[in-house]
Structures are given as structure tokens and as C-alpha cells.
Amino acid sequence: MNKPLEPSGVGTETTHFGFRDVPVAEKQKLVGEVFTSVATRYDLMNDLMSLGIHRLWKRHFASTARVRAGAKVLDLAGGTGDIASLLYPKLGETGSVVVADINAAMLDCGRDRLLDEGKLRRSHFIQANAEALPFADKSFDLVTMAFGLRNVTDKDAALRSIYRVLKPGGRVMVLEFSQLRPPLLRPAYDWYSFNVLPALGSRVAGDAESYRYLAESIRKHPDQATLDEMIAEAGFVLGGHRNLSAGLVAIHHGVRP
């Protein structure tokens, strides 16, 4: 199983930031700079990079979440509020969604979105680190995380933190880029990721380096089987995963017993 921390020298721990090795203490700051830079163009760039397909992935993700009226939902790395917006109509009059993100600029975008959509009344926004969630034990019926786990420094710690705040019988759902299954498609995917994405980032968001990092972070993220193993090791009864778009992304499920 891929571990997020690797020893490098005496008394020094490093982790990956894209394809670079950086001190563990620096990664959170570096990731924060990436998302502060891209926050206002994040949704537009997602549309351009995926040709709009990310919206279909997210709708499928939300539709399979089995949210019941009255549920207490935590959307981690909720950023621009797109997952919360999709889940909101399912909550009924007594349910609520907490959007948590480590990045304040992304949270501002999400709050503006839900305000514009008239979905702010049962939505709450909290700046929080997924590795040490500031919520009581057994607080939520569902925790969702879409395209955020790969940016977390210590993924195992985040999964344990999610387990802690879920009620018994509560579910975690993770939507994340994964390993493209047909090997013949991988060279074309790599060319697109490392040439087209930075060019789009430069032209649209004025930031090629952040989108180069995002492409690299996908390659460093655990594949489907490894992430399943990590979820199980955090204590969840594993629900397995479902590949979308030939494994370009995958939805992982787990239940707290």
C-alpha cells in the first residue's frame, strides 16, 4: 500500500507535492497556494479540462449517495459547493450539509454559489483540515469527498478522522481520479494531462504551474485497489468501488460498523 510519508534523511519526513518531494510541514501550504490561485476559475477550468464530463460524474456521485430527508451530511474538500448543491434538495426541512474545506478562498466561492441558488439556509461552511476534523464523534450520517483526498498530506489520518465523525451505520463516499484501465489509452491521457492542462491553466487562469501540479497529483494518488485497502484499514466495512469513464475516476464506498 502506498504510504503518504517517506523518510528522507535523519529526522526529516517528506511527502509528494506532485512529482516533487517536499517536507511534510510544507505540503499543506503549497496545496493552499494552488487552490487560492485557481479558486475563482476552478469550476470553469473543470468544465474546460473535462469537456463538462465532471458534472456527470458528480451528479452520479450525488444520486448514488442515498441521502435521506433529515440527514446530517459533511462534504469534505467541498470547495465551490457543487456537491453540496446537488445533495441539498434531498435533505428535507430538517437535514443539513456542512461544507468543510481547508482553503478559505474555495469556501468563499461555495458560499456565494449556494447563496445565489437559495440553498444557504441549511448549509454551513467551516474551514477545516480533513486530517483533524473539528466535529464531535458520531455527528454525521454521510461524509462525501469529491476530488479532494489526493491533496491531503496524510490520507490515512483523514480516513480515520472521517470514521470518527460518522455515526454507526454512516457512510463515506470518495470520488477521485484513479487509474485509467485500458493501458493503450494511457499515453494519450498523459500527453493531454501534461501538455493541454497546463496550457489551459495558463490561458484561462493565468497559472500553468498549479494545473501541472494537479495533473501530477493524480498520478501520485493511490489506485483503486490501494484506496479500497486504505478505507478498510481505517475501520470501514468496505463497499468497494465503481469505475467511471474506464477508471479515469472511481467512487469508493465504506460503512462505519
pLDDT value at 23 more than 50: yes
d(CA 229, CA 14): 22
pLDDT in tens, 43-91: 888 998 999 999 999 999 999 999 999 999 999 999 889 999 999 999 9
How far is 252 from 14, CA to CA, in rounded Å?
27
Pairing of the two strands 96-101 and 72-76: parallel
48 or 252: whose pLDDT is higher? 252
Q: What's residue 244's pLDDT?
A: 98
* Residue 111 located in a structural domain: yes
144 in a structural domain: yes
Q: Is residue 98 part of a domain?
A: yes
Query: Contact 76/143 with Cβ under 8 angstroms?
Result: yes
CA distance 223 to 218: 10
Residue 102 grid coordinates: 481547508
Q: Domain residues for 144?
A: 52-182+223-255
| Spatial separation of the C-alpha atoms in residues 210 and 38, rounded to whole Å | 8
State the pLDDT confidence band at 25, using cuts at 50, 70 and 90. Answer: confident
Lowest-pLDDT choice from 8-17, 41-50, 201-210: 8-17
HSE-CB for 233 with a 13 A CA cutoff: 13
The per-residue pLDDT for 34 is: 78
Task: Report the pLDDT averaged over residues 229-255.
Answer: 97
The reply to whether 192 falls in a domain is no
Tally of domains within the chain: 1
Q: What percent of the chain has pLDDT over 90?
A: 73
For 57-66, the pLDDT digits (tens) are: 999 999 999 9
Q: Is residue 169 part of a domain?
A: yes
Task: Specify the pTM.
Answer: 0.89
pLDDT-derived band at 37, boundaries 50, 70, 90: confident
Indicate whether 131 pLDDT > 80.
Answer: yes
C-alpha count within 13 angstroms, C-beta hemisphere, residue 87:
33
Nearest to 114 by CA among 139, 89, 134, 146: 89
Model pLDDT, residue 29: 81
Residue 250 is part of a domain; what is its CATH number? Answer: 3.40.50.150
Average pLDDT over residues 20-47: 82
Does a structural domain hold residue 156?
yes
Please indicate, yes or no, if residue 46 is contained in any of the structural domains. Answer: no
Contact 65, 252 (CB under 8 A): no
In a domain, 193, yes or no: no
Task: Please write the tens of the pLDDT for every residue from 186-206.
Answer: 999 999 999 999 999 899 888
Tell how strand 249-255 and strand 237-244 pair up: antiparallel
